[in-house]
């Protein structure tokens, strides 16, 4: 499975999650396979010789429920821990954190918005 989005003059294609701690080494075989399949489906999508591969860490919580909300610090809010569901949760999480930062209750009571403890720490809803 892969997904893509336009980023200016670039096409971003993503499709794997390497769950291996803090190791950010690229898996060249998987990168080439994603590129090959994308160009099979969309031959005019781009120039394969200009492909740039990139990797990064995917913060995830043990339960896969992201942390979204205020912290004990006045201007620090969390919207992290989505793991492999970052793109899937992006719009809903973005809307929820925008509401929280603006002092509004999120329109939808997402299970992952969390509640504030007495000390101001965000506690995921499933742990509250």
Domain locations in the chain as residue ranges: 3-50, 67-127
Closest CA to 84 of 110, 56, 106, 112: 56
pLDDT tens-digit profile, the chain (128 residues)? 455 555 677 788 877 777 778 888 888 899 999 999 999 998 988 888 989 898 888 788 887 778 888 888 888 888 888 888 887 888 888 998 898 888 888 876 655 445 444 444 444 444 43
Kindly provide the residue ranges of all beta strands, DSSP E only, lying in the chain, ordered along the sequence: 3-7, 10-14, 67-70, 77-80, 115-116, 122-123
The pTM (predicted TM-score) of the whole model is 0.58
């Amino acid at each position: 499975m892969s997904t893509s989005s336009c980023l200016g003059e670039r096409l971003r294609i993503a499709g794997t999650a390497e769950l291996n701690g803090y190791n950010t080494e690229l898996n060249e075989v998987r990168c080439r396979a994603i590129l090959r399949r994308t160009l099979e489906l969309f031959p005019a999508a781009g120039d394969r010789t200009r492909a740039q591969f990139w990797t990064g860490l995917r913060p995830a919580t043990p339960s896969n429920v992201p942390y979204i909300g205020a912290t004990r610090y006045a201007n620090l809010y969390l919207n992290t821990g989505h793991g492999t569901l970052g793109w899937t949760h992006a719009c809903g999480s973005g809307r929820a954190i925008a509401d929280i930062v603006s002092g509004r209750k999120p329109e939808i009571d997402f299970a992952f918005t969390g509640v504030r403890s007495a000390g101001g720490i965000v506690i995921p809803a499933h742990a509250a």
